[in-house]
């Protein structure tokens, strides 16, 4: 009877340990917005999930040939109908991931 009880509390202990380790590895521990999330929230409305939407005459990102420096410039300062995002991007990590995400949209 006593042994059974010890076994149960050990199981509970192990369970609570493993679930806290899991928590640390999820997105909640990230202290910046991921580039993909930023794209979903701010860019998809004109460019679409795959970059091809072309709303408000947005350019097709799957056919873009800009290098990462040019993309950074354009994202920060905007161009034509595209707004500037310099002040909405709070972390360089978000910006770099965003540029990586744009590159991944190219076929
Ligand atoms: C209001 C609509 C709109 C939103 C929102 C928008 N864009 Fe654009 N985007 C445009 C337009 C319009 C152009 C074409 C600008 C031009 O060349 O005159 C463009 C062009 C671009 C280009 C250049 C493509 C090329 O090859 O010339 C990139 C890269 C780009 N957008 C990325 C983004 C990213 C990243 C976001 C989100 C942070 C974003 N855009 C949000 C409208 C938008």
- Tens digits of residue pLDDT in 37-65: 999 999 999 999 999 999 999 999 999 99
Q: How confident is the model at residue 6 (pLDDT cuts 50, 70, 90)?
A: low
* Residues in Cβ contact with 63 at an 8 Å cutoff, skipping those fewer than 6 apart: 106
Q: How far is CA 21 from CA 8, 25, 26, 65, in A?
A: 20, 7, 9, 42
Residues with a CB atom less than 6 Å from ligand 1 = 42-43, 45-47, 56-59, 61, 64, 66, 71, 74-75, 79-83, 85, 98, 102
Q: What is the pLDDT of residue 30?
A: 73
Cα of 84 to ligand 1 centre, how many Å? Answer: 9
Cα of 93 to ligand 1 centre, how many Å? Answer: 20
Q: Which atom of ligand 1 is closest in space to residue 65's alpha carbon? A: 26
Q: Name the maximum alpha-carbon separation found in the chain.
A: 76
Q: Which atom of ligand 1 is closest in space to residue 89's alpha carbon? A: 38
Q: What is the distance between the terminal CA atoms of the chain, rounded to a whole angstrom?
A: 64
Of how many residues is the chain composed? 107
Q: What is the pLDDT of residue 22?
A: 47
Q: How confident is the model at residue 24 (pLDDT cuts 50, 70, 90)?
A: very low
Q: How confident is the model at residue 28 (pLDDT cuts 50, 70, 90)?
A: low
Q: How confident is the model at residue 107 (pLDDT cuts 50, 70, 90)?
A: confident
Taking only the tens place, the pLDDT of each residue in 54-103 is 999 999 999 999 999 999 999 999 999 999 999 999 999 999 999 999 99
């Amino acid at each position: 009877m006593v042994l059974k009880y010890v076994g149960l509390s050990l199981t509970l202990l192990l369970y609570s340990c493993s679930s806290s380790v899991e928590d640390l590895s999820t997105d909640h521990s990230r202290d910046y917005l991921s580039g993909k999330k930023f794209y979903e929230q701010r860019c998809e409305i004109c460019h679409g999930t795959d970059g091809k939407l072309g709303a408000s005459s947005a350019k097709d990102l799957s056919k873009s040939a800009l290098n990462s420096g040019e993309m950074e410039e354009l994202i920060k300062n905007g161009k034509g109908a595209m707004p500037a995002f310099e002040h909405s991007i709070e972390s360089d990590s978000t910006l770099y991931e965003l540029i990586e995400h744009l590159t991944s949209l190219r076929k």
